[in-house]
Amino acid sequence: LDGSAASVALGFTFDPIEQIGIGLSYRWGTEFDVEGDWYGEDNVKGKSRTAPIAVGGVTYRPNEQYDLYLSYIHEGWDEATSTLSVYPDDGGERNQFDKPLRTLALGAAAKLAENRYIVRLGAAFQLEDGIEGALVPKNSFGVGGVWNFTEYAFETAITMEQFDLNGDSAQTTNYGFYFTIAYRL
């Protein structure tokens, strides 16, 4: 199935003191049209709604060279819906998951050459979610870096994510490579 839609997110960060940063963000779920082949049927059309996501995080800066991160991510999978059920015999609209997915993420960054280069490491671990009968993210690990210029920055990351089905870990493993170009105003 294919489909796309714009999503709306709002977030902010602030530093109550020099060594501590706090960030909060929320992305609303988005409803969009999907179509394609589905369980042997051609040109199937339907509607899906993505899960809203809330994130809260804290950054601790023990000195100018290092940052440590801790975040809590709450994905409202219980609010994700689709008119096309994963079980076509059920028919009708249904929630695909009955509980939210909750994740704890940890990270560290080292700034080198007066912040010209930044090296990052991170890991995320699913907290007990109780989602049954669905393949959900269990944990992920990543390494990345940033190359800063005066107005531009290039960022890249390599990640590995393992999925869990009914408590059986590593059912599926995905690898990702990400590249971003940023421009500072």
Render pLDDT for 37-92 as a digit per residue (tens, 0 to 9): 877 778 888 888 888 999 999 999 999 999 999 999 999 988 888 777 655 555 55
> What pLDDT, on the 0 to 100 scale, is given for residue 112?
95
Both tokens assigned to 63: 């000195």
Angle at 55 between CA 83 and CA 103, to 5 degrees: 75
Q: What is the secondary structure of 5-57 as a DSSP string?
A: ----EEEEEEEEETTEEEEEEEE---EEEEEEEETTEEEEEEEEEPPPEEEEE
> What pLDDT, on the 0 to 100 scale, is given for residue 110?
97
CA distance 121 to 123: 7
> What pLDDT, on the 0 to 100 scale, is given for residue 46?
86
Give tens-digit pLDDT for 87-131.
Answer: 555 555 455 577 888 999 999 999 999 999 999 999 999 987 677
Q: pTM score, two decimals? A: 0.79
Q: Measuring CA to CA, which residue among 75, 81, 93 is closest to residue 136?
A: 75
Give tens-digit pLDDT for 150-168.
Answer: 899 999 999 999 988 776 6
The maximal CA–CA distance of the chain, rounded, in angstroms, is 60
Phi, psi of 77 (to 5 degrees): -60, -25
Q: What is the CA radius of gyration of the chain?
A: 19
CA distance 49 to 79: 8
> What pLDDT, on the 0 to 100 scale, is given for residue 175?
93
- Averaged pLDDT, 24-47: 87
> What pLDDT, on the 0 to 100 scale, is given for residue 48?
85
